[in-house]
Chain A
Amino acid sequence: MVSHVLEIRDLATHFMTRAGVVKAVDGVSLTVGRGEVLGLVGESGSGKSVTGYSIMGLVDPPGRVVGGSIKLEGEELVGMDDDSLRHVRGKKIAMIFQDPMMTLNPVLRIDTQMTEAILAHENVSKKAALARAQQALERVGIPAAAERLKAYPHQFSGGMRQRVAIATALLNQPAVIIADEPTTALDVTIQSQILAEIQQLCREMGTALIWITHDLTVVAGLAQRIAVMYAGRVVEAGLVNEVLDDPLHPYTRGLLGSLPSAAIPGQPLDQIPGSTPSLGRLPPGCAFSPRCRDATELCRQEAPVNRYFSNGRQARCHHPVSTIALVATPSDV
Chain B
Amino acid sequence: MLSFFIRRFAQAALVIAVMVVLVFFGVNVVGDPIWMLISPEMDQEAIEKTAAALGLDKPIIEQFFHFVKGLFQGDLGRSFVHGEPAIQLILSRMGATMELAVVALLMAIVFGLPLGMYAGLYPDRRSSRMIMSGSILGFSLPTFWVGLMLIMLFAVMLGWLPASGRGETVSIFGFETSLLTLNGWQHIALPAFNLALLKISLMIRLARAGTREAMLMDYVKFARAKGLKESTIIRVHVLKNIMIPIVTVLGLEFGSLVAFSVVTETIFSWPGMGKLLLEAIQRLDRPVIVAYVMVVVVLFVVINLIVDLLYSVLDPRVRITGAKA
Cross-interface CB contact of A117 among B218, B227, B237, cutoff 8 Å = B227
- Does A108 lie within 8 Å of B237, measured CB to CB? yes
B 232-268 binary contact with A (CB < 8 Å = 1; else 0): 1000110011001000000000000000000000000
- Determine if B226 and A97 form an interchain contact, defined as CB atoms under 8 angstroms apart: no
CB contact under 8 A between A102 and B227, given known A108-B236, A120-B232, A154-B317 = no
A208 to chain B, nearest CB (A): 16
Let me know if B227 and A152 touch, CB within 8 A: no
Q: Which of A58, A116, A117 contacts B221 (CB 8 A)?
A: A58
Interface-located stretch among A16-24, A81-89, A304-312:
A81-89
Flag if A89 contacts B226 (CB, 8 Å): yes
Residue A333 at the B interface, CB < 8 A? Answer: no
Of the residues A102, A104, A107, contact of B244 by C-beta under 8 Å: A107
Distance in Å: Cβ of B31 to nearest Cβ of chain A: 56
CB neighbours of A107 from chain B (8 A): 240-241, 244, 314-317
Closest B residue by C-beta to A86: B227
B314 closest partner in A (C-beta):
A107
Using an 8 Å CB-CB cutoff, how does the interface string of B294-325 with A read, 1 for contact, 0 for none?
00000000000000000000111100100000
Asked whether any CB of chain A lies closer than 8 Å to the CB of B222, the reply is yes
Known contacts A105-B237, A107-B244: A95-B225 contact under CB 8 Å: yes
* Cβ-neighbour of B218 out of A97, A120, A152, A155 (below 8 A): A97
Q: Take A87-B227, A120-B226 as given contacts and tell me if A105 and B241 are in contact as well, using a CB distance cutoff of 8 Å.
A: yes
Q: Is B18 located at the chain interface by the 8 A CB criterion?
A: no
Interface residues of B in 152-166 (CB under 8 A from A): none
Residue contact B228 to A116, C-beta cutoff 8 Å: yes
Instruction: Give Cα A155–Cα B317 distance, bound, in whole angstroms.
Output: 9
Contacting pair B228 A94 (CB below 8 A): no
> Known contacts A89-B227, A120-B229, A152-B320: does B218 contact A102 (CB below 8 Å)?
yes
Inter-chain contacts of A117 with B (CB < 8 A): 226-228
Contacts of B244 in A (CB 8 A): 107
Cβ of B6 within 8 Å of any chain A Cβ, yes or no, is no
A247 at interface, CB cutoff 8 A = no
**How distant is the Cα of A269 from the Cα of B317 in the complex, in angstroms?**
46
Judge whether B225 and A58 touch: CB under 8 Å. Answer: yes
**Given contacts A58-B224, A89-B224, A120-B232, A152 and B316 within 8 Å (CB-CB):** yes
B221 near A97 (CB under 8 angstroms)? yes
**B226: shortest Cβ distance to chain A, in Å?**
4
Q: How far is the CB of A189 from chain B (nearest CB, A)?
A: 24
Q: Tell whether B217 is near chain A: CB-to-CB under 8 Å.
A: yes
Cβ of B306 to closest chain A Cβ, rounded Å: 20
Tell me which of B219, B228, B240 has the highest count of chain A C-beta atoms within 10 A of its own C-beta.
Answer: B219
- Residues of B contacting A106 with CB < 8 Å? 219, 241, 316-317
Q: Which residue of A lies closest to B238 (CB)?
A: A105
Q: Contacts A107-B244, A120-B232, A152-B320: A90 and B227 contacting too (C-beta < 8 A)? A: yes
Residues of B within 8 A of A152 (CB): 316-317, 320
Residues of A within 8 A of B224 (CB): 58, 89
- Give the residues in chain B near A91, CB-CB below 8 Å: 227
Contact bitstring B212-224, A, C-beta under 8 A = 1, else 0: 0000011101111
Give complex CA distance A165, B222 in Å.
9
Bound together, the chains give a CA A88 to CA B227 distance in angstroms of: 7
In the bound complex, do residue B218 and residue A99 qualify as a contact, i.e. CB atoms below 8 Å apart? yes
A residues 181-207 near B (Cβ < 8 Å) are: none
Is residue A121 within 8 Å, beta carbon to beta carbon, of the partner chain?
yes
A56 close to chain B: CB less than 8 A: yes
* B317 with A102: CB separation less than 8 A: no
Task: For the complex, give the distance between the alpha carbons of A168 and B227 in Å.
Answer: 12
B222 touches A97 (CB 8 A): yes
Complexed CA–CA distance, A104 and B240 (Å): 13
Chain A: minimal CB distance from B50 (Å): 62
Cβ of A301 within 8 Å of any chain B Cβ, yes or no, is no
- The yes or no answer to A103 lying at the interface (CB within 8 A) is yes
Q: Are B225 and A94 in contact (CB under 8 A)?
A: yes
Per-residue contact bits, chain A 110-140, to B (CB 8 Å; 1 contact, 0 not) = 0010001100110000000000000000000
| Residues 56 to 108 of chain A near chain B (Cβ within 8 Å) | 56, 58, 86-91, 94-95, 97, 99, 102-108
CA distance A255 to B236 in the complex (A): 44
For residue B188, give the distance in angstroms from its CB to the closest CB of chain A: 34
Given A86-B227, A108-B237: A103 touches B317 (CB 8 Å cut-off): no
Q: Are A105 and B226 in contact (CB under 8 A)?
A: no
18 more A-B residue pairs beyond the given contacts A97-B222, A120-B228, A165-B222, with a C-beta to C-beta distance below 8 A: A58-B225, A86-B229, A88-B227, A90-B225, A90-B228, A94-B225, A94-B226, A97-B218, A97-B225, A103-B218, A103-B219, A105-B219, A106-B241, A106-B316, A108-B237, A108-B240, A117-B226, A152-B320
15 contacts between A and B (CB under 8 A): A58-B221, A86-B229, A88-B227, A89-B225, A90-B225, A90-B226, A97-B218, A105-B219, A106-B317, A108-B240, A112-B236, A116-B226, A116-B232, A120-B227, A155-B320
